[in-house]
Amino acid sequence: MQVNRQGPYLIFPVKEEWEGLTLQDIFKKKWVLPKKLVHDWRMNRAVLVNGDDHHWNLPCNKGDLMKIKVLQEQDFLVEPQYAEIHILFEDDHCMVVNKPPHMKTHPTEEKNELTLLHAASFHVMASGESRKVRPIHRLDRDTTGAVLFSKHELAGVLLDNQLTKKKVHRTYWAIVEGVPSQKKGTIHGPIGRDRHHPTRRRVSPGGQSAVTHYEVLETSKKMNRSLILCTLETGRTHQIRVHLSYIGHPLVGDQLYGGSSSFYRPALHGIELSFIHPLLEENITMKAPFLDKMMDLLT
């Protein structure tokens, strides 16, 4: 879909499939936006159709120009702080960042801790913008790789909807102890908290449903290690770490789940991220280069 920018406004041509729908229909049924956001737009006259702000209950026609004020300055969710980060993709609506190790995706406690959200917010501020930057998903503190952020509320809601519908695809590479007997497989194991440890998770009948697909890409008999590709149907905390440990092949460096201390962190990297652009409706696929010597563990 063609989208233009005019100051704080995004300008969309009404698509053929929206013909005859009101703004309320488009926002509720097509974009599945929260009621509060739509209400705010209506009260603040933030939506125009062909320059008219009284168009809410009239049917739209193909080719009508819809303008929505979503790029106005907003407060950041956190105080921007500088950290060196690698931007893989960015436009007015979203960005993909290659997360380094030893950094949380976003704050989880009151204490002042530099996170990827702080650094991404600083990057946007340094470009002269003030936006409500927000992560769409997260990676564990010591996992590296691609993380998707929205840069305004409309993009955030549309990407959240994609995540719920499993249209945001994430691929991980993990280096594990040993060589799995099966080259490919699917791990079905509900994940819950381990009552004996404050941060550890475990496969538990009473846990949340969790499904991990894996494929062995490479093995090193000399090192007794394997490179495994993982994709997730669910996004539970520590899911890949828990599941691979559950089948007897914990990540190298993941001492919490039975791995060796041969690496300074659990050997897990989000190598690829693909999604449908929330507004342009194009397929975006980004690959995240390695930020450390994780791959040397096989040699």
Q: What is the pLDDT of residues 213-265, one digit of tens each?
A: 999 999 999 999 999 999 999 889 999 999 999 999 999 999 999 999 999 99
pLDDT of residue 196: 85
DSSP of the chain: ---EEETTEEEEEPPGGGTT--HHHIIIIIS---HHHHHHHHHTT-EEETTBS--TTSPP-TT-EEEEE--S----SS-------EEEEE-SSEEEEEEPSS--SS--SSS----HHHHHHHHHHHTT-----EESS---TT-EEEEEEESSHHHHHHHHHHHHTT-SEEEEEEEEES--SSSEEEEE--EEE-TTSSS-EEE-TTSB--EEEEEEEEEETTTTEEEEEEEESS--TTHHHHHHHHTT-PBTT-GGGT--SSSSS--EEEEEEEEE-TTT--EEEEE---SSSGGGGG-
Which one of 64, 140, 142, 254 is the catalytic residue?
140
- 140 catalytic? Reply is yes
Residue 116 belongs to some domain of the structure? no
Q: What pTM was estimated for this model as a whole?
A: 0.93
Residue 78 belongs to some domain of the structure? no
| Domain, as residue range, for 263 | 171-270
pLDDT of residue 284: 97
Residue 178 belongs to some domain of the structure? yes
Q: What CATH number does the domain containing 19 carry?
A: 3.10.290.10
Per-residue pLDDT, averaged over 145-153, amounts to 97
Residue at a domain's end among 26, 53, 69: 69
| Greatest C-alpha distance within the chain | 72
Residue 12 belongs to some domain of the structure? yes
Tell me the C-alpha distance between 146 and 144, whole Å: 7
Residue 240 belongs to some domain of the structure? yes
Tell me the C-alpha distance between 89 and 63, whole Å: 30
Residue 232 belongs to some domain of the structure? yes
Residue 153 belongs to some domain of the structure? no
For the chain, the domain total comes to: 2
Residue 54 belongs to some domain of the structure? yes
Per-residue pLDDT, averaged over 261-273, amounts to 97
Residue at a domain's end among 49, 69, 89: 69
Residue at a domain's end among 69, 87, 112: 69
